[in-house]
């Protein structure tokens, strides 16, 4: 892309509680696009929550469902897609991210992710119990290289969901015409 064409979709990646869903919904509403969230579609397909899939069927089954949902959602147009926090690190994930996708990593520290996740309740099996900050730090370290493959990075601690959406609109305009505006 970056050749004067509007991206066909926006993909948001980042760690758990990095704000992918809230920024994604806001962005979709500003663009008049559809919003799709991996976990919501996975849960609807499986007929149970992500936590129950992990508990009853195991992570491998969750990743299998996630991959098939990803394949489908990454082919949609005029759609903002929020991936699950672990998906970008799965084998083959980035092969699904085509050139006409604007990908953005919403960056957050483990401490802030853990604080936000605890405020949102026990919906994330990988952050349940034990020393959560230690686990989040190790997970994030192992995933950072995969998040970094996104075309852009935005600081999700500096910006709230509304500002993130605004920044992504700016990135889209920039891709359409790099001469229009200096990027911040
Ligand atoms: C996961 C992140 C979750 C969800 C599942 C596994 C992960 O999504 O897909 O609990 O491996 O980081 P969110 O990033 O939306 O919380």
| pLDDT tens for each residue of 138-179 | 999 999 999 999 999 999 999 999 999 999 999 999 998 888
Average pLDDT over residues 47-55: 96
- Is any atom of ligand 1 closer than 6 Å to the C-beta of 14? no
Strand, helix or coil at 103?
Answer: strand
Comparing 183 with 48, the larger pLDDT belongs to 48
Strand, helix or coil at 107?
Answer: strand
Average pLDDT over residues 17-21: 96
Which of 25, 52, 126 to probe ligand 1 with, by most ligand atoms within 8 A of CB?
Answer: 126
Cα–ligand 1 centroid distance for 178 (angstroms): 34
Cα–ligand 1 centroid distance for 14 (angstroms): 9
Q: What is the dihedral of CA 48, 53, 55, 59, to 10 degrees?
A: -170
Question: What pLDDT is attached to residue 31?
Answer: 98
Q: Which residue's CA is the nearest one to ligand 1's atom 4?
A: 84
Are the C-beta atoms of 9 and 77 separated by less than 8 Å? yes
Question: What pLDDT is attached to residue 182?
Answer: 52
**pTM of the prediction?**
0.94
Looking at the CA of residue 139, tell me the nearest atom of ligand 1.
Answer: 12
Average pLDDT over residues 98-117: 96
- 4 has pLDDT over 80: no
Question: What pLDDT is attached to residue 184?
Answer: 47
Output the six-digit token pair for 31.
């663009």
Q: Which residue's CA is the nearest one to ligand 1's atom 16?
A: 16
Contacts of 166 (CB under 8 A, 6+ apart): none
Average pLDDT over residues 60-80: 98
- Distance, CA of 133 to CA of 127 (rounded, Å): 8
Cα–ligand 1 centroid distance for 180 (angstroms): 36
- Distance, CA of 31 to CA of 158 (rounded, Å): 23
């Amino acid at each position: 892309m970056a050749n004067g064409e509007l991206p066909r979709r926006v993909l948001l990646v980042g760690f758990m509680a990095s704000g992918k869903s809230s920024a994604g919904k806001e962005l979709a509403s500003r663009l008049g696009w559809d919003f799709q969230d991996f976990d919501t579609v996975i849960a609807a397909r499986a007929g149970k929550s992500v936590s129950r899939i992990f508990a009853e069927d195991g992570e491998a089954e969750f990743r299998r469902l996630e991959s098939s949902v990803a394949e489908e959602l990454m082919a949609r147009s005029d759609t903002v897609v929020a991936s699950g926090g672990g998906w970008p690190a799965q084998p083959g994930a980035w092969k699904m991210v085509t050139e006409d996708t604007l990908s953005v990593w919403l960056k957050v520290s483990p401490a802030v992710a853990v604080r936000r996740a605890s405020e949102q309740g026990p919906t994330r099996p990988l952050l349940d119990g034990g020393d959560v900050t230690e686990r989040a730090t190790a997970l994030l370290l192992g995933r950072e290289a995969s998040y970094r493959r996104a075309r852009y990075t935005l600081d999700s601690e500096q910006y709230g969901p509304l500002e993130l959406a605004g920044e992504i609109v700016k990135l889209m305009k920039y891709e359409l015409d790099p001469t229009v505006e200096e990027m911040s």
